[in-house]
Amino acid sequence: MKVWGLHLAVLAALALLGLVLPQYHATNLARIMVLAVFAMGYNLAFGYAGLLSLGHALFFAAGMYGAGLPAWHWGWGAAPALLAGAMAGGLAAVIVGLLALRTAGVSFMIVTLMFAKAFALTILYFNSWTGGDEGFVVPDTGRALFGATLAADGPRYALAWGLFTVALGLSLLLVRSRFGRVMVALRENEERARMLGINPYAAKLQVMGISGLYSGAAGAAYALLFGYVGGTFADIQYSILPMLYVLLGGAGTVLGAGLGAALMFYLTDVASSVTDAWLFVVGAALVVLVLFAPKGILGWVRARWWRDLP
Amino acid sequence: MSFGPFLLLALMEGMVTAAVLSLAAVGLCLVFGVMRVVNVAHGEFYMLGAVIAWFVASVVPGPAWAVFLAALVVAPVLVGALAAAADGLILKRLNYDPEATIVATIGLLYILQQAALTFYGPDARPVAAPFTWRIQLPWFGYSGYKLFVVAAAVAVLLAVWRLMTRTRAGLIMRATQVDREVAGAFGINVDRVYMGTFALGAALAAVAAVLVVPIQQAHYLMGGDPLLLSFIVVIIGGLGSLRGTVIAALIIGLSDGVISMFFTPTLAKILATLLVAMVLVFRPQGLFGQKT
């Protein structure tokens, strides 16, 4: 009860912020919520099931191009494009998972990294069709949703909030379900989970698929809400960012992904207004987190005060 | 130019790539073999070597060959010292946990890259070659310096080979590689071995960069490609096997030269990265490694 209260309060606060915040911050917040959905997907794989992937940029970019290419080439509207993007992300994750999940630990990290790199290079290779490095702008027809245009501030915030709400609710249901306990069991001790009759490969493949759906939906929403699709979103950097958000907010906590995304976004925003060395902030944050606070903010809260925080 | 000489040129360019690549990859391979650490910042150590070579060239007066020799000494020493510091301050505190060290070295990658951008700038800058002889073949002229790069790389590799197989330090490193705990029980200072290995691996990357900088220019983003290629080479060669790494560097370097000349470099890289993923999935011990 307390748990649902907390999460509903967060959602209500976000809805209210969308109405009262000045435009610059409302747009930032919309961006943060979309990135938070990406991070939630990453968190399901990394935080709950212990799958440390370095290739989630692939799923994010698959969603982005899955939504952006049909909108650009065939004039699809926002609703089917969004759906296609989420599906593309999930499908890409299942295909990568089928192969990569035969490995574990460091090998898993490198295999996912290599697949993501190959995908990024493929986007560049077919540049006449994907726009390559320069990318392309999503046409206005692709940003029309039920009569509203996602290029306008109100509908943009509303869709970002809606996606965030659905993602948060599903995450919460998932991790408190039986399958949520299976994920944690796989993270903590795979052999013991196997002894209890769980098929680790099948369960991890499901987690990868769900994580890919989240990442794909986030990528598709990012493309449609902000109107640009480009090869840089497939770069390794976009695999590192969700990991950073999750580590900062607290791996294995439902709200941690969003909290980490918000903090990191404003941290780099402030840093880049002072100096242009914002990459330094990202690097230093990674090193400091992994050295001194591997549990993240909400992980620490859970350890100290609220043991049942999901 | 007919096909034969064209292929010869492609192979010679491939040899240069292979020589530089094998140095960088052997550094990565040593670190992984002895410490079980995947050093994602390896490419940035390479980049730092090139940038330091440029700084040395801009402050040291004298003829080009003297400047080059100075860079060849200063860059690996400085980069090695930096790596040793990173090992003591970060990796050791993480207890060399494989996954945590990857995250930490990704952080290190961004820090070093940003430092280079801030203090060195976004421009690509050349360093003069120590000599400018050209070798005139019947079909085309070829830079003598590139052949020197190949010879120098072979010499350094032979030195590493001797170090690992014929000296006490190499014996200690191999003992630590086989079993860290037992090595510690026999009085080996494992912390010092790790620090030395990490410094040596980074220094090898710096040597490769100093050799390459008269051919390519020094740039703050130049670490990305060597990192990717070194990863590919180390994995295909069998993680931690020095001989396999050198053989794989030859194969990747030569085929990269040929494929890049006849097709496109992007296609060559796509094929290589997919090959690596498949090797790790279906033959985790590498193409040349033995099953343990």
**Chain B closest-CA separation from residue A264 CA (Å):** 14
Burial classification of residue B268, based on how many CB atoms lie within 10 Å of its CB (0-12 exposed, 13-18 middle, 19 or more buried): buried
Residue A228, strand partner residues: A137
- How far apart CA B230 and CA B274 sit, in angstroms, is 15
Average pLDDT, chain B: 87
B90 and A115: CB-CB below 8 Å?
A: no
B281 and A291: CB-CB below 8 Å?
A: no
Mean pLDDT over residues B192-215, rounded?
A: 93
Placement of tokens 């040899």 in the chain: B15
pLDDT tens sequence across B113-161: 999 988 888 888 888 888 878 888 777 778 888 889 999 999 999 999 9
> What φ, ψ does residue B287 adopt, rounded to 5°?
-70, -30
Q: What is the ipTM of this complex?
A: 0.78
Partner residue opposite A279 with nearest CB, options B38, B104, B114: B114
- How far apart CA B246 and CA B26 sit, in angstroms, is 7
- Looking at residue A91, what is its pLDDT? 95
- How far apart CA A216 and CA A59 sit, in angstroms, is 6
**Chain A closest-CA separation from residue B37 CA (Å):** 9
**Chain A closest-CA separation from residue B90 CA (Å):** 7
pLDDT tens sequence across B48-107: 999 999 999 888 888 888 888 999 999 999 999 999 999 999 999 888 888 788 889 989
Q: Has residue A294 been placed in a domain? A: no
- Looking at residue B112, what is its pLDDT? 93
Q: Are A211 and A257 in contact (CB under 8 A)?
A: no
pLDDT tens sequence across B158-192: 999 999 889 998 889 888 888 888 888 888 888 99
Partner residue opposite A286 with nearest CB, options B104, B235, B267: B104
List per-residue pLDDT tens for chain A, 310 residues long: 777 888 888 888 887 887 788 888 888 889 999 999 999 999 999 989 889 898 999 999 999 999 988 888 887 888 888 999 999 999 999 999 999 898 887 788 888 988 999 999 999 888 888 887 788 888 777 777 776 777 777 788 888 999 999 999 999 999 888 888 889 888 888 888 888 888 989 999 999 999 999 999 999 999 988 888 888 888 888 988 898 889 888 888 888 888 989 988 888 888 777 767 777 888 888 888 888 878 888 877 887 777 777 7
B108 and A287: CB-CB below 8 Å?
A: yes
B290 — pLDDT class (breaks 50, 70, 90):
low
Nearest to A225 by CA among A47, A14, A81, A48: A81
First to last CA, chain B: 49
**Chain A closest-CA separation from residue B153 CA (Å):** 27
Q: Indicate which of A279, A282, A289, A292 best probes the interface with B, i.e. most B CBs within 10 Å of its own CB.
A: A279
Q: Indicate which of B280, B283, B285 best probes the interface with A, i.e. most A CBs within 10 Å of its own CB.
A: B280
Partner residue opposite A290 with nearest CB, options B94, B118, B278: B94
- Looking at residue B292, what is its pLDDT? 47
Nearest to B220 by CA among B124, B126, B128, B127: B124
- Looking at residue B237, what is its pLDDT? 81
Which residues of A lie closer than 8 Å to B, measured between beta carbons? Answer: 52, 54, 99-100, 102-103, 105-107, 109-111, 114-115, 117-118, 121-122, 124-125, 240, 243, 247, 277, 279-280, 282-287, 290-291, 294
pLDDT tens sequence across B2-34: 778 888 888 888 899 899 999 999 999 999 888
Q: Which residue of B has its CA nearest to A283?
A: B107
Q: Indicate which of A53, A56, A102, A106 best probes the interface with B, i.e. most B CBs within 10 Å of its own CB.
A: A106
Cα separations in angstroms, A151 against A32, A38, A148, A219, B139: 17, 21, 9, 16, 60
Domain limits for position A137: 2-235
Q: Has residue A87 been placed in a domain? A: yes
Domain count of the fold of chain A: 1
A121 and B273: CB-CB below 8 Å?
A: yes
Enumerate residues 6+ apart whose C-beta is below 8 A from A273. none
| B270 contacts in chain A (CB < 8 Å) | 118, 121-122, 125
Helix (H) or strand (E) holding A136: strand A136-137
B100 and A294: CB-CB below 8 Å?
A: yes
Enumerate residues 6+ apart whose C-beta is below 8 A from A157. A18, A26, A27, A29, A30
Sorted by where each starts, the structural domains of chain B and their CATH numbers stand as 3-282 (1.10.3470)
Partner residue opposite A114 with nearest CB, options B102, B118, B273: B273
SS (H, E, C) A23-40: HHHHHHHHHHHHHHHHHH
Q: Has residue A265 been placed in a domain? A: no
SS (H, E, C) A218-278: HHHHHHHHHCEECHHHHCCHHHHHHHHHHHHHCCCCCCHHHHHHHHHHHHHHHHHHHCCCH
- Looking at residue A40, what is its pLDDT? 93
> What φ, ψ does residue B71 adopt, rounded to 5°?
-60, -40
Interface A-B: count of C-beta contacts within 8 A: 107
Q: Has residue A264 been placed in a domain? A: no
- How far apart CA A275 and CA A273 sit, in angstroms, is 6
Chain centre distance of CA B136: 30
B284 and A103: CB-CB below 8 Å?
A: yes
Tally of CB atoms within 10 A around B208: 30
Q: Residue B291 pLDDT more than 60?
A: no
Q: Residue B289 pLDDT more than 70?
A: no
Q: Indicate which of B106, B119, B234, B259 best probes the interface with A, i.e. most A CBs within 10 Å of its own CB.
A: B106
B266 and A106: CB-CB below 8 Å?
A: no
Q: Has residue A301 been placed in a domain? A: no
Enumerate residues 6+ apart whose C-beta is below 8 A from A103. A111, B280, B281, B284
B110 and A294: CB-CB below 8 Å?
A: no
B276 — pLDDT class (breaks 50, 70, 90):
confident
| B115 contacts in chain A (CB < 8 Å) | 280
SS3 B226: helix
| B280 contacts in chain A (CB < 8 Å) | 103, 107, 110-111, 114
Alpha-helical segments (H) within chain B:
3-35, 42-59, 64-86, 98-120, 144-166, 168-178, 180-185, 190-212, 224-236, 242-262, 265-282
